[in-house]
Structure 1
């Protein structure tokens, strides 16, 4: 949820200005129009608090505690006070909770207090809590949000865990190369110098070994620079956009990316729509939870298309990066008049698909990394023993 500073005009032609929170400028325009104001200009106000959005685990813990306390009849002020004093709560989190507590004591609604925390809480949670305040079912909505963010945390943890083994193997491959070129190859250097000719692979390995002997620190610096450079490049919007496009079109792994992105989108859209939030604001929030800039950008065309009165399924058909199951299921929901139930069923099915896709990815990554390590070791062995056998042949020929 972003904060915008805007200038608008009333029906009478009077110019007014102010600030308002909205998912994007399209929602800002809609909210002002609902208040009979016509947007003239708007500028996003960057938060001075510098608070990053809480991680899914923190959000899940907050929602679950809030749900339990409110359901037990504890007042909202006392519930937040209990949550803020929790032993596992970090100082930055406690500061946010205490600020919310202060605002609620002044009569501000919980959703507005969350909205004022500089992005600590995601738009999805703010919208859902605002809906709960109107419906009087805060405990039920908070529990639903807890379950949603717990699923998100488990998915993120599984993806991160799936990458630990490949990272270890990649580190081992680098270590093996360093050891072989810096310590093993020099043992054969005296033998190789006595030979008239060496196989091409041996000459290549010798060159690498000589470089590592004299300039090993350059190799380490180069690895660090490449890693840091890649991270810096991904902070550039245009580069990140191209990389995210490549990710969803990669062979094998692209399918995993599509499944995870579709699962996140479907889960968020299902939660918002089932809470009674109109489809256009739901899309504006759900697009930000996909985690892929390439897919997110395409909603600049999808949202006006749906706002014009077209079917949601037709709009999502325009998105390159979602799997077909999502649009096919939504189309059935639109035809049968049960879009909310179909969205919920589809999101659950896609979560299972995402879990299976991660397991499948691991079944590909592990053997690929082992094959790479085996090829490196095979190259070294062929280079060394090929040269040794060549020297034996030369000696036999001389006799």
Structure 2
């Protein structure tokens, strides 16, 4: 007997779909196994199977009924990092609860609300129905599923543990997204504070200082102003006279900065800065260690060969100097050396990392040890980001306070002379 259902997922979003079960109670139990909270479960009558094809469209199944999913117009990836992690977790859960890969994808296609990703999933469903492997279908959508994702799925298929591989992958994606989110938030805060401070100073120099300049010129009858006041007045006059050029210059500087970052020379420069600038080098070093160890541990745990795993871990780090070091590590491992020795020789990984890797190699628990290292450094990244933020915040506030104070003093000094003149 078939039941249509309305349920809520872990994020409180409404999901709709269809399940087959002997009774309403068992249907509710099956819906809960998908990680959903059933809100309404309604029996439906069986309908005849309808199948049709269309260029650019994929087919999905709900019970015994197929419907065409047309390709929508979209740009870039069909889904973001958070959505991909949720999808991977849900697919892993469905497989672990005994559903086939086809049935699991049918359920996920039925409940997917994102039209672009719904179409991508329908393509995976049709690919598997055509006799191909899941990984072959994923390879056709490289914007959504990168090389690391694809190779972990391949390893899971080869070992017959696709559900476990997807579970590890979901955990990896969630942790990686959390670290990126923390770094982004920590970067945005000082930028916002600095931008706000700059706007305040520009506002004072553009609208407030010129009015005081007119008052001083009228009341002091051309008497020479204090040095600090003259400097502020001249700077204000320059900004007011060239405000358009200054704004255009800031936009051009931002575009040049963005373009430089995308070049090879820019990537090397910023990679060097992140590893050597005193205030941030400790934080970024820990982030890179965490990324490398988590990626490598997850890949090894899923059965990916170590040389191939080192290749993908290298790409996941994202820093040219660390990537070059991992290349050297890979070459030495390929020549038969244990992983811990070349890791230590790079000088870019803390001694604790190479020691724990050595223990993992000796006990045969290298993947587990790498994941433990990643967990340790994730916690240290949190503490390090908080520490950096606590240093940057008062510096920015102090800069704003000094700027406003200098402007205020420069405007107050002529009033002293003006009061002296009135007294005389």
For Structure 1 versus Structure 2, the TM-score category normalised by the shorter chain is 0.7 to 0.9
Alignment correspondent of 1:169: 193
Matched, 1:253 2:280: yes
Which one of the candidate residues 128, 136, 145 is aligned to 1:121?
A: 145
Which one of the candidate residues 147, 153, 157 is aligned to 2:181?
A: 157
Alignment correspondent of 1:313: 340
1:309 is paired with a residue whose SS is: coil
Equivalent residues of 1:63, 1:145 under 8 A apart:
yes
CA RMSD of aligned residues (A): 2.5
Taking a change above 3 Å as real, the CA distance of residues 304 and 52 of structure 1, as seen in their structure-2 partners, is farther
TM-score by length of 1: 0.79
Q: How do 1:335-350 residues align onto structure 2 when only pairs under 5 Å count?
A: 335-350=362-377
Matched, 1:136 2:160: yes
Equivalent residues of 1:77, 1:104 under 8 A apart:
yes
Give, in whole Å, the separation in 2 of the partners of 1:245 and 1:77.
Answer: 47
Give, in whole Å, the separation in 2 of the partners of 1:76 and 1:357.
Answer: 42
Alignment correspondent of 2:258: 231
Matched, 1:62 2:78: no
Unaligned runs of 5+ in 1: 1-48
Unaligned runs of 5+ in 2: 1-73
Taking a change above 3 Å as real, the CA distance of residues 82 and 210 of structure 1, as seen in their structure-2 partners, is same
1:121 is paired with a residue whose SS is: coil
Q: 1:178-224 CA distances to partner (integer Å, 9 max, x unpaired)?
A: 21011110121124434543344322321221123222222222222
Equivalent residues of 2:112, 2:118 under 8 A apart:
no
Q: 1:135-173 CA distances to partner (integer Å, 9 max, x unpaired)?
A: 222222212221221112222222222334323312211
Alignment correspondent of 2:28: none
Give, in whole Å, the separation in 1 of the partners of 2:294 and 2:78.
Answer: 19
Q: 1:94-139 CA distances to partner (integer Å, 9 max, x unpaired)?
A: 3322222222222111122212323421222222222221222222
Q: How do 1:1-399 residues align onto structure 2 when only pairs under 5 Å count?
A: 52=77, 55-91=80-116, 93-193=117-217, 194=220, 195-319=222-346, 321-390=348-417, 392=419, 395=421, 399=424
Runs of 4+ in structure 1 over 4 Å off: 49-54, 390-393
Give, in whole Å, the separation in 2 of the partners of 1:202 and 1:335.
Answer: 72
Give, in whole Å, the separation in 2 of the partners of 1:136 and 1:157.
Answer: 33
Q: 1:214-240 CA distances to partner (integer Å, 9 max, x unpaired)?
A: 222222222221112111111111221
Equivalent residues of 1:53, 1:122 under 8 A apart:
no
* Greater gyration radius: 2
Give the paired residue count. Answer: 348
Equivalent residues of 2:124, 2:137 under 8 A apart:
yes
Task: Between 286-295 and 117-126, report the one with greater CA deviation.
Answer: 117-126
